[in-house]
């Protein structure tokens, strides 16, 4: 909660279940770059909607309270 007070220009989406402060105006693409996540190997769900077209990652601007799920493939049976 304190972080919100000191980041007046930031927004706080919930990324993979955890609140994360990013600069206001950040897109999902910006978030992925900040996290060092390659867009090619992940699938992103924004507010429960799958972002099918990866080009849209750079146009979807994040807002406080947005839910972002970043998933990839892991070993499984």
| Residue numbers at the binding site for other proteins (CB under 8 A) | 15-18, 35-38, 41-43, 45, 50-52, 69-77
CB nearer to other proteins: pick between 8 and 75 = 75
Which two structure tokens, joined as six digits, stand for 20?
Answer: 């994360």
Task: Report in angstroms how near the CB of residue 5 gets to other proteins at its nearest.
Answer: 24
Which two structure tokens, joined as six digits, stand for 64?
Answer: 């406080």
CB nearer to other proteins: pick between 8 and 17 = 17
CB nearer to other proteins: pick between 8 and 77 = 77
What is the residue whose two structure tokens read 């900040």? 34
Which two structure tokens, joined as six digits, stand for 7?
Answer: 């980041």
Task: Report in angstroms how near the CB of residue 48 gets to other proteins at its nearest.
Answer: 8
Which two structure tokens, joined as six digits, stand for 67?
Answer: 């839910």
């Amino acid at each position: 909660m304190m972080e919100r007070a000191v980041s007046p220009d930031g927004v706080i989406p919930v990324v993979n279940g955890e609140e994360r402060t990013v600069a206001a105006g950040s897109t999902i693409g910006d978030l992925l770059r900040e996290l060092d996540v390659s867009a090619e190997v992940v699938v992103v769900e924004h507010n429960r909607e799958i972002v099918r077209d990866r080009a849209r990652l750079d146009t979807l601007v994040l807002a406080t309270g947005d839910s972002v799920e970043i998933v990839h493939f892991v070993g499984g049976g």
